[in-house]
Amino acid sequence: MSRIGKKPVEMPAGVSATVSGQQIEVKGPSGTRSFKATDDVDITVDGNVITVKPRGSSKRARQQWGMSRTQIQNLVTGVTTGFKKELELQGIGYRATLQGNVLKLALGYSHDVLFDIPEGVKITVPKQTEIIIEGNDQQQVGQVAANIREWRKPEPYKGKGIHYKGEFVFRKEGKKK
Predicted pLDDT of residue 134: 95
Task: Please choose, from the candidates 173, 171, 159, the residue with its C-alpha nearest in 3D space to the C-alpha of residue 88.
Answer: 159
Distant-in-sequence contacts of 170-176, Cβ < 8 A, 24+ apart: none
The answer to whether 82 touches 30, Cβ cutoff 8 Å, is yes
**pLDDT, tens digit, for every residue of 28-82?**
998 899 999 999 999 999 989 999 999 988 999 988 999 999 999 999 999 999 9
In terms of residues, how long is the chain?
Answer: 177
Cβ-Cβ contacts under 8 Å for 91 (sequence gap 6 or more): 107, 108, 152, 158, 160, 161
Q: How confident is the model at residue 175 (pLDDT cuts 50, 70, 90)?
A: confident
CB atoms within 10 A of CB 41: 22
Q: Taking 80 as the threshold, does the pLDDT of residue 12 lie above it?
A: yes
Cβ-Cβ contacts under 8 Å for 132 (sequence gap 6 or more): 84, 85, 86, 87, 123, 124, 125, 126
Predicted pLDDT of residue 2: 66
**pLDDT, tens digit, for every residue of 97-124?**
999 999 999 999 999 999 999 999 999 9
pTM: 0.86
Task: Please choose, from the candidates 148, 141, 151, the residue with its C-alpha nearest in 3D space to the C-alpha of residue 103.
Answer: 148
CA distance 89 to 136: 24
Burial track 83-104 (b if 16+ CB lie within 10 A, e otherwise): bebebbbbbeebbbeeeeeebe
Give the domains, in start order, of the chain with CATH numbers.
3-80 (3.90.930.12), 83-164 (3.90.930.12)
CA distance 138 to 157: 32
* AA letter at 57: S
